[in-house]
Every structure is written in C-alpha cells, then in structure tokens.
Amino acid sequence: MAKMLIGGELVDSASGQTYEVRNPATGEVVDKVPKGNEKDVEQAISAAEGAFKEWSDVSAEDRGKMLSNACELIKQKQGDIAQALTKEQGKTLFEAGLEIHHLIHGLEFYAGLASKVRGAHVPLPQKNAYGMVVRQPIGVCAGIVPWNFPLTLMGTKLGPALAAGNTIIVKPASTTPLATLIAIEQIQKATYGEGKQQKTLPKGAVNVVTGPGSTVGEEILRNPRIRRIAFTGSTPVGKHVMEVAGREIKRITLELGGSDPMIVMDDANLDLAIKMADVGRFFNCGQMCLGVKRLFVQESVAESFVGKLTEILKTKTVGNGAAKETRMGPIHIESQRKEIEEQVEDAKSRGAKVVFGGERPKGGDFDKGWFYLPTLLTNVPEDSKVSTEETFGPVLPVFTFKTLDEAIEKANSSIFGLGSSIWTRSLASANRAIDKLQAGNVWVNSLHYGYDELPFGGVKQSGVGREHGPEALDYYLEPKGVVVVNV
Ligand code: NDP
C-alpha cells in the first residue's frame, strides 16, 4: 500500500482510512492510498514550518544544487514513475515518459534560476539615504494539482517554491497520487554541498498529503499557516479556492480551464497545421488545459482540411496506455466521459455533423475502461456546449470563417482565455492575432510544448498569475522595501 510523505517519513493517514486508486483502462485497483484529512494537513504544516527555518537559510546556490540532484534521483526511478502514471492516469507510456521529461526539465530550469534572483538598489530623494528591494521566501506553500498532468503540474509549483527558499505541501488529485509519491520521495532524498558539508533537503521541506479535495483541499485553503496556494484545476473549483483562501489574504495563483482557439488561414502550411491540430487536440486523450478545443478554418480550405484530419484519426489506435501500439488511452474518469458524451449529444441535437467518432469503441477490453473515440464535429452551432464550455476530452469542433477579424471575434467570444494559435504565412495576419486574441498565450505556427522558459497562464476565467519562466518565481517571493540612512 502507498503511504503519504510527511516530515520526511512515509506515513498512513491519521485516521487509518484508505481508498483505492483504479486503472481507467481496466477498472482494476492499482493500489490503496491513505485517505488523509484535516489532521494530516496540520501535521504536514508543522513539518513544513520546521523545515522552513532551515531551508530558507540555505544559500541560493545550494538550493539550486539540491534541485539538480533531485532531478538525478527522479531519473533513477523514471521507469517506475512512468508505469505508475500510466496505470493511474490512463495516458500512454510514451506520454508518461514525456511528462517525466518535462518535470525534470522544469526542475532543472529552477535549479539554474535559484541563484539568479535579484533585488534592487533604489536612489531616494532624501540625502544620505538609499532604498533596497529585498526578495524573501514566503513560508509554507501548497500546490493543489489536477489529474491530467500530475507530475508536470506538481513540478511547476514545487520547483519555484523550493528555489525561492519556501517549503511545500502537495495535494495531488485523489485519482492520481501514485507517480507523485514516488517522485517526491526521491526529491526528499536530494542533497547539496560537498564532502563532510553535504546535507539532505530538510525533512518536511516537501510533503504529500493524499485524500479528497473536500477535506485535505479545504484545510489547505482555510488554514492560515499556509501562506501561498498554487492551484491548477477547473474554473468552478478555482473560484472556490479564490473565495476561501481570500478570507486569510493568502497569495494565490490559479491555472484554470481553457477553450483554446486554433485559427488556420488559407495561406498556412496546411500539412503542418493538420498534423498539429491532431496533436493539439488528441494528445493525452484531449485532457489538456491548453488543448485545441475550437478549430477555426478559413472557408476556402476547410473541406480538404477536415478530410485530411479525418484520415489521421482513422489510424489512431485507441487502447490501454500500457500497450505499445496504443496512441490514445482512455478518458481518466467515468464522470468525465459522461460529460463529454453530453456535450457531443448537445451539439448533435443542434445540428452538428459527426465526421468521425462520436461514440465509445465497443467490445472486449474497451468495455472495461472509460474509452471514447477521437471525435470530429462540423456544422457546430456557436451556442452549443462544445463551443461555450471547456471540452476536456478527445472532441474537436470545427468552425469556418471568411476573414481573420471574424475568426478573432469568434475566438474571443469565450469566457476562457488560456492559449490560442494562428497558422499563417502572413506576418500581418500573425501580428494582428498576437495583438487582438484575448489569451495568456499566443502561438504562431506552433503549439505550446509546456515551455519552462516562458510565462504560462490565462486571462478572463482561465486564471490568475503565471507559472513557468522566471515570472513564476515572483509569486514565491515577497518584495521587502528597505530604507538605509547613513548617520
Ligand atoms: P478539479 O478542479 O476538479 O480538481 C483539481 C484539484 O483540486 C484536485 O487535486 C482536487 O482534489 C482539488 N479540489 C477539489 N475540490 C477542492 C476543494 N473544495 N478545495 C481544494 N481543493 C479541491 O479539476 P480536475 O482535476 O478535474 O482537472 C481538470 C481541470 O484542470 C480542467 O478544467 C483543466 O482545464 C484544468 N487545468 C488547467 C491547467 C492550466 O495550467 N491552466 C493545466 C491543467 C489542467 P480531488 O481530486 O481530491 O477532488
């Protein structure tokens, strides 16, 4: 049975209760996990507070070295982590390997940045005086993580938190705690310093509390001893996080849902755009915040675009993510598949045409898991759910347009504003889209590969604040204004 990590120890929950993690491809139990509650969060906070006293005094250079060593230790368990991730999440082993690669790359990025944090020297009008801006760690942070990318989205929080000198409590999604537990156990073992001076990351600097959002998550939001919360998840839960954490004036960042538009102009490299529409929508079984969720194709090329994309979908092998030949695994949970099915039915009832998919694959092993075929819809009314809501699964609605301004207006008519892309050979069209698309991110002839170098986040109901990039560090440091007067 898996254990939680609190204060450097692998422990059961305070209540002794457990719950089962199941494989979305087979329905089989993968492992049992401690069902934590408020008491376990309290213990983790005490451990993280204790560790903060030591960790915040470690030099920035050594904090970076510790993160580098953590990456090496994660690599040693790469195989086990990938197996656990595929079994608990459903993604293919290839996708699991890519996710671990991203986790390591992200931690290495913050390992490098730890010693590059700068404050400021400020001239003041007063004679014999100057100001400084000193940037200090905040204290105990928490990362609340969803199930679609359990490792990378944990790393985008843990990396900058530790680099800045904070300690952290991670709450994974209830359905995907296993790969996280292996990775964080490795991080807890990481060392810094040479020879006799070598030290291990203080016990309690990283903690994982497993259990439901309604108890473990709520305590993280409420408890005033946690000063900073990084949340990635759905927009409705994000609103709740903002409300509850706001009562204690906690520092929060919210990385929420999206409905990213992909705009394809008739002068684009269409072969590339078709290939990337496939990747952008169906990677990770379409369960990506920054997935292409609305495809806008210029009228003159729409028919051939849809035809060629359909040919790609026909070759996509759906199945258990652990099988070599699988290119798309199951949807992660049953309720998510039900939501997808309702969204597709709603589009159909309003006149949308199912060009491909639109149903579950049937028979044999398919009946054991939460499988759904890659689905392409055309003639989709703009007020249908696949257009107005986030579609968190392998469904792509295609819309057509005559002019770029029309496409931008349609793209912006969403409550979300996470990613977006424009595909064109015209610099003028690209620049207009960069300027006018209401999104935290615009990609030109490209899709987001989870760049650690660039800030990532949303506008409108897609979130608050940024992860990735040096910008993410700003959310883990408090600027302190200092005035020094020579007397
Ligand atoms: P949820 O919002 O349901 O859950 C996210 C996390 O919040 C889970 O760990 C969950 O725990 C926890 N949680 C649930 N209720 C509470 C609560 N009351 N208090 C505190 N924590 C709580 O999202 P999903 O897991 O369904 O993830 C999918 C969503 O995440 C999609 O909308 C997707 O777009 C978004 N996302 C956004 C990204 C971004 O960077 N913008 C990136 C990836 C995903 P539990 O599992 O125990 O319920």
Is the backbone of residue 11 left (phi > 0), alpha (psi -120 to 50) or beta? beta
> What are the tokens at 315?
């070759």
Query: What mean pLDDT comes out for the span 463-483?
Result: 98
- Which residue out of 99, 185, 219, 255 is catalytically annotated? 255
Instruction: Calculate how far, in angstroms, residue 257's C-alpha sits from the geometric centre of ligand 1.
Output: 9
455 confidence band (pLDDT: 50, 70, 90): very high
Q: Tell me the three state secondary structure of residue 32.
A: strand
Q: Within 13 A of 14's CA, how many CA atoms are on the CB side?
A: 13
Give the Cα separation of 227 and 249 in Å (integer). Answer: 8
Position 449 pLDDT exceeds 80: no
> What are the tokens at 346?
């709603």
Query: What mean pLDDT comes out for the span 94-112?
Result: 98
Give the Cα separation of 230 and 253 in Å (integer). Answer: 5
Question: Cβ neighbours of residue 8 under 8 Å, at least 6 residues apart?
Answer: 47, 188, 202, 203, 204
Query: What mean pLDDT comes out for the span 102-110?
Result: 98
Whether 162 and 477 have beta carbons less than 8 Å apart is answered as no
Our answer on whether the CB atom of 251 is closer than 6 Å to any ligand 1 atom is no
The string of pLDDT tens digits covering residues 220-273 is 999 999 999 999 999 999 999 999 999 999 999 999 999 999 999 999 999 999
The string of pLDDT tens digits covering residues 288-307 is 999 999 999 999 999 999 99
| Test site for ligand 1: of 144, 247, 285, most ligand atoms within 8 A of the Cβ | 144
| Test site for ligand 1: of 35, 89, 145, 148, most ligand atoms within 8 A of the Cβ | 148
Give the Cα separation of 255 and 234 in Å (integer). Answer: 8
Our answer on whether the CB atom of 286 is closer than 6 Å to any ligand 1 atom is no
- Which residue out of 71, 141, 285, 289 is catalytically annotated? 289
Q: Is the pTM of this model over 0.85?
A: yes
What average pLDDT does the structure give for the chain?
A: 98
What sign has the CA pseudo-torsion 63, 67, 70, 72? negative
CA torsion, ordered 433, 436, 439, 444, to nearest 10 deg: 10
The string of pLDDT tens digits covering residues 336-386 is 999 999 999 999 999 999 999 999 999 999 999 999 999 999 999 999 999
The whole-number pLDDT of residue 2 equals 98
Closest alpha carbon to 458 in 399, 404, 414: 414
% of residues, the chain, pLDDT over 90: 99
Residue 19: C-alpha distances to residues 2, 6, 175, 204, 259 (Å): 10, 18, 10, 24, 33
Closest alpha carbon to 215 in 3, 418, 11, 14: 14
Instruction: Calculate how far, in angstroms, residue 272's C-alpha sits from the geometric centre of ligand 1.
Output: 32
The string of pLDDT tens digits covering residues 172-196 is 999 999 999 999 999 999 999 989 9
Our answer on whether the CB atom of 442 is closer than 6 Å to any ligand 1 atom is no
Q: Does the annotation count 285 as an active-site position?
A: no
Q: Does the annotation count 194 as an active-site position?
A: no
- Token pair 């209760």 in the structure block, residue: 17
The string of pLDDT tens digits covering residues 419-442 is 999 999 999 999 999 999 999 999
473 confidence band (pLDDT: 50, 70, 90): very high
Question: Cβ neighbours of residue 429 under 8 Å, at least 6 residues apart?
Answer: 265, 267, 404, 422
448 confidence band (pLDDT: 50, 70, 90): confident
Read off the amino acid at residue 53. Answer: K
Backbone angles phi, psi at 281, to 5 degrees: -100, -35
**Residues 363, 21, 281, CA angle at the centre, nearest 5°?**
60
Position 279 pLDDT exceeds 80: yes
Our answer on whether the CB atom of 258 is closer than 6 Å to any ligand 1 atom is yes
Our answer on whether the CB atom of 209 is closer than 6 Å to any ligand 1 atom is no
What sign has the CA pseudo-torsion 460, 462, 468, 474? positive
450 confidence band (pLDDT: 50, 70, 90): confident
Q: Tell me the three state secondary structure of residue 81.
A: helix
